[in-house]
Amino acid sequence: MPTGQIIIHEQYCKGCGYCEVFCPQGCIVITGEKVSPEGFLLPTFNHREKCKGCGICGQMCPEFAIEVYQIKAEKGKEKKNRKSKQG
């Protein structure tokens, strides 16, 4: 079963919360602990073990601030496939 990894580019994030709302696995949360220099609440990739790398968070992000990778294990190796790309 594939697992996922995401990279949140905080310098582009405006704190809209779409990634948190639309993540079907609940992997992304906005706790209020992280704030950008502009005052935006930033998301955190908290539940890494639940992520499947579906790419919905990256597709929903209006600022293209999230990169999503799907990792598939192949006979002792890991293979990364990029599911979304930054603008």
Per residue in 27-52, pLDDT tens? 999 999 999 999 999 999 999 999 99
Per the model's pLDDT, the better-predicted residue between 79 and 19 turns out to be: 19
Structural domain harbouring 57 = 3-84
In sequence order, the 6+-apart residues with CB closer than 8 A to the CB of 5 are: 48, 51, 53, 68, 69, 71, 80
Phi first, then psi: what are they for 80, rounded to 5°?
A: -100, 130
CATH number at residue 35: 3.30.70.20
Share of the chain above pLDDT 70, in %: 85
Gap between the Cα atoms of 45 and 58, Å rounded: 12
For residue 19, what pLDDT band results from cuts at 50, 70 and 90?
very high
Decide if pLDDT at 11 tops 80: yes
* Pairing, β 66-74 against β 44-45: unpaired
Structurally, the chain folds into a number of domains equal to 1
Question: How many angstroms separate the CA atoms of 60 and 55, rounded?
Answer: 9
**Helices (H), strands (E): how many in the chain?**
2, 5
Can you give the pLDDT at residue 27?
Answer: 96
